[in-house]
Amino acid sequence: MNTLRRHTLGALAALTAVCTLGAALPVHADTLDTIKQRKKILIAVDIGAPPYGMLDSSAKQVGSDIEAAHLLAKDLGVELEVVPVNGPNRVPFLLSKKADIVMASFSITDERKKVINFSEPHGVVPVVVAGPTGVKIGGFGDLAGKSVAVTRGTTSDMELTRGVKDVGNVTIVRYEDDATTNTAVSTGQQDYLAAAPSVIPAVKKANPSRDIVNKFTMKSYPYGLGLRKDDAAPKAWLDGWVKTNLKNGKFNEIYTRYFGMSLPEDMLKCFPKGLFHDRSEPRSPFRHQHAIGTGDTPASTGRCRDHPGPACIGHHAPVGGSDRGRTGPTGPQGGHPCYCHG
């Protein structure tokens, strides 16, 4: 009897320990829930990458990514905290949850997509060839006999190498970092540079006598917001947010202000009919929170029609509303956006 009692007490103690441990374990919450509870979004931005992120004369954070980050926080209805990052640590900061999303001139590449997810693209990172004002350079063929500086392993290096492979007598001089590449051009070691357009002002600032200008664009890489692979709810909302702000022109205003050129025409026109609601302003997923199928909403399942299974965050127009019948990521049957998460 004592043996049975000891085993029973032991089992109860073990069960209690398991329950206590289970209660102590963190309950998984998606990033949108975390942002809502915190009332703040942590957005990673590279402050050392003008014109995307930089400090002005009063040490205030400015740049195209900074403006977009403020716009995102405003549309979500939460406070913004900028998390400073650089190129190499953008992904580690995201994966270690030091940031909710990354908005740091983040080019969408196949290699990065193996590790993280991206929103729909909201801008492009062009890579260009720059050279002296008085020399006519309109394409790769005009670089014959020229020496071109580039930072090793960058998209500029890749596109330059590809572009001149059939052009004779082009010398590519590769440097290990942007600072060294810029110094080589500003000091006259090379007259030509393959880089992002944002590099050109830095070269001219270092040596105003070097009249270096953009000659031609090699290629433009789309960039988007970086997210963790399991963040389905943020991606659904961010995709709609990106498309809305492309459609209403806000992204193009920001891009034009900092880059002196418009976004590519095909990016501004990629709006399939019926994809958007007539409303030009995005709606925060935190302003209305009930599952479809409750209250005056038309569905009876409490589920998104185009995302069966998970419940929805958002407000849905009654049957017969002006948006009825629209389809796409902003809502299965019209009305206000329906953002699903599982």
pLDDT tens for 308-332 read 333 332 333 222 233 323 333 333 3
Q: Are 304 and 314 in contact (CB under 8 A)?
A: no
CA 182, CA 241: separation in Å to the nearest integer? 36
Query: Which of 43-57, 175-189, 247-261, 287-301 bottoms out in mean pLDDT, i.e. has the lowest?
Result: 287-301
Task: For residue 166, give Cα distances in angstroms to 144, 153, 169, 341.
Answer: 10, 20, 10, 50
DSSP label at 198? T
Give the pLDDT score at 194.
95
Pick the residue with more confidence: 66 or 337? 66
- Give the largest Cα separation in the chain, rounded: 101
Cβ neighbours of residue 140 closer than 8 Å, sequence gap 6 or more: 163, 164, 167, 218
pLDDT at 269 over 80: no
What's the pLDDT tens digit per position in 17-69? 333 333 333 333 578 889 989 999 999 998 877 888 888 999 999 999 999 99
Q: Which of 36-50, 216-230, 258-272 has the lowest mean pLDDT?
A: 258-272
How far is the C-alpha of 261 from the C-alpha of 258, rounded, in Å? Answer: 8
Give pLDDT tens digits for 77-103: 999 999 998 877 899 999 999 999 999
Q: Tell me which of 234 and 7 has the higher pLDDT.
A: 234
| Chain mean pLDDT for the chain | 75
Q: Which residues contact 206 (CB under 8 A, 6 or more apart)?
A: 182, 183, 186
Give the C-alpha separation, 74 to 203, whole Å. Answer: 35
Residue 193: both structure tokens together: 């540079």
Whole-number pLDDT of residue 10 = 47
pLDDT of residue 38: 94
- CATH of segment(s) 125-220: 3.40.190.10
For residue 16, is pLDDT > 50? no
What sign for the dihedral angle of Cα 87, 93, 94, 98?
negative
Read off the tokens for 310. 């998970």
Q: How far apart, in whole angstroms, are the C-alpha atoms of residue 272 and residue 308? A: 23
Residues 6+ apart with CB under 8 A from 78: 35, 36, 38, 39, 40, 41, 286
Reading the block at residue 137, the tokens are: 């350079």
As a whole-number percent, the residues of the chain with pLDDT over 70 amount to 70
Please tell me whether the overall predicted TM-score, pTM, comes out greater than 0.85 for this model.
Answer: no
Q: Where in the chain is the domain with CATH 3.40.190.10?
A: 33-118+224-268, 125-220
The CATH number given to 33-118+224-268 is 3.40.190.10
